[in-house]
Amino acid sequence: MRGHRRQGLWLAFALHRASGLLLALFLPVHFHVLAFALNDAAKLDAFLAWTDYTVVKLAEFGLVFLLAVHLLGGLRLVALEWLPWSGRQKTLAAGAVAGTASTFVLPERDMTALHRHDTDILILGSGGAGLFAALHAQKAAPGATVTLAVKGLVGKCGCTRMVQGGYNVALGIGDSVERHFMDTIRGGKWLPDQDMAWRLCEQAVVRVRELENEVGCFFDRNPDGTVHQKAFAGQTFDRTVHKGDLTGIEIINRLMEQVLSRPVERLQEHRAVGLVPARDGSGLSGVLFIDMRTGDFRFVRAGSVLMATGGGRRCTSTTPPRATRAWTGWPWPCARG
């Protein structure tokens, strides 16, 4: 081994060991402080304020510096011991140094920035209810701006997409809205709001026609061309309209296509985190969101707000939908009366 390589090897070895030792002392202290800070919200706030101090920033710098030195010392050892010190390795090492250094020169993001957006009609959620609402709002008031805000991606989130069984609607000969209504009330052990249940059963007939004739859904059919309806839990009549077992996907995809072809503004991956009351107490002035891609806050001021955020599926510990499918704001309307 040539002289300068032997010297370099010894230096890399010493640096590697020294920085490793310092890290071993530093890291337990660091994590102990973190565990202490994250104990409760008040301590976390205090900790975050504390991280603004120069001495804390220097300690953070020291930690990253030690990690970089340790890593580079190790890399150098491997390079000198096993490989000839070629131009490529120098480039690799220079890249690692530049990468570490760049973390200190990148501008700090201002996490308190608040973006603003104005709209006439704001719809929260893009399941079946939200997409239908956007279509109807746009049709009823073509001059108004309609904004669809959702914490996932339009067409990809919400429980509607998961519907496999199908859509209950009284269409068949011998069936009726009254019978569908009674099945719904009995199935709900007489707990459902009866006016709402009636409206649901009555409107199902209108909505399934709209889904087929205006939105473009293809549902399974009988050989005579009538819509196929199958048996479903709690129903005394075969009234479930479906497309194989992909009914939700059919409904959501067709609704999404209709919404995308209209001037409906979309705020995707925007999680609503609070309803903001009007200053004079007359109602809502808008909704506060977190843009989940950037972490920025966005306030959407709206003439009217429609909540189509689905059911509180994750109120229980065992539940099929993942986080983007379930409503996370169910306490808000209760809190606002």
Ligand X SMILES: Cc1cc2nc3c(=O)[nH]c(=O)nc-3n(C[C@H](O)[C@H](O)[C@H](O)COP(=O)(O)OP(=O)(O)OC[C@H]3O[C@@H](n4cnc5c(N)ncnc54)[C@H](O)[C@@H]3O)c2cc1C
Interacting residues with ligand X (CB under 6 A): 124-130, 149-152, 157-160, 162-167, 271-272, 308-311, 320-321, 324-325, 327-329
Q: Which residues make beta-bridge pairs with 297? A: 114, 290
Helix/strand number for the chain, H first, E second: 9, 9
Q: Which is nearer to ligand X, 12 or 215 (CB)?
A: 215
Taking the least distance from each CB to ligand X, the nearer of 79 and 170 is 170
CA angle 256, 260, 266 (to 5 degrees): 95
**Measured at CB, which residue is nearest to ligand X?**
127
Min separation Cβ 327 and ligand X, Å: 4
**Nearest by Cα to 310 from 136, 123, 130:** 130
Distances (CA, A) of 45 to 13, 37, 38: 41, 8, 9
Q: Is-contact 208 171, C-beta < 8 A?
A: yes
Minimum CB–partner distance for residue 18 and ligand X (Å):
50
H or E element: which one contains 168? strand 167-168
Residue 42's contacts (CB-CB under 8 Å, 6 or more residues apart) are none
Relative orientation angle of helices 87-105 and 54-82, to the nearest 10 degrees: 170
At its nearest, how many Å lie between ligand X and the CB of residue 195? 18
Strand partners, 276: 286
Residue 274: enclosing H or E segment and its boundaries? strand 270-277
Could you tell me the smallest distance in angstroms from the CB atom of residue 109 to ligand X? 22
Q: Exposed e or buried b for every residue in 301-323, given b needs 16+ CB within 10 A?
A: ebbebbbbbbeebeeeeeeebee
What region does 326 belong to: left with phi over 0, alpha with psi -120 to 50, or beta? beta
In the complex, what is the shortest distance from the CB of residue 330 to ligand X, in angstroms, rounded to a whole number? 8
Residue 258 half-sphere exposure toward CB, CA atoms < 13 A: 26
Q: How far is the CB of 216 from ligand X (least distance, A)?
A: 18
Q: Which is nearer to ligand X, 89 or 258 (CB)?
A: 258
Of the two residues 12 and 169, which places its CB atom closer to ligand X in the complex? Answer: 169
Minimum CB distance to ligand X, residue 270 (Å): 6
Cβ distance to ligand X smaller for residue 67 or 185: 185
Nearer to ligand X, 37 or 227 (CB): 227
Strand extents, DSSP E, 100-157: 114-124, 146-149
The span from the CA of 279 to the CA of 108, in Å, is 33
Contact between 163 and 310 under an 8 Å Cβ cutoff? The reply is no
Whose Cβ is closer to ligand X: residue 16's or residue 271's?
271
Which residue lies nearer to ligand X by CB, 192 or 311?
311
Minimal distance, residue 87 CB to ligand X, in Å: 52
Compute the least distance from the CB of residue 95 to ligand X, in Å: 40
* Closer Cβ to ligand X, 19 or 147, answer by number: 147
Question: How far, rounded to the nearest angstrom, does the alpha carbon of residue 212 sit from its chain's CA centroid?
Answer: 30
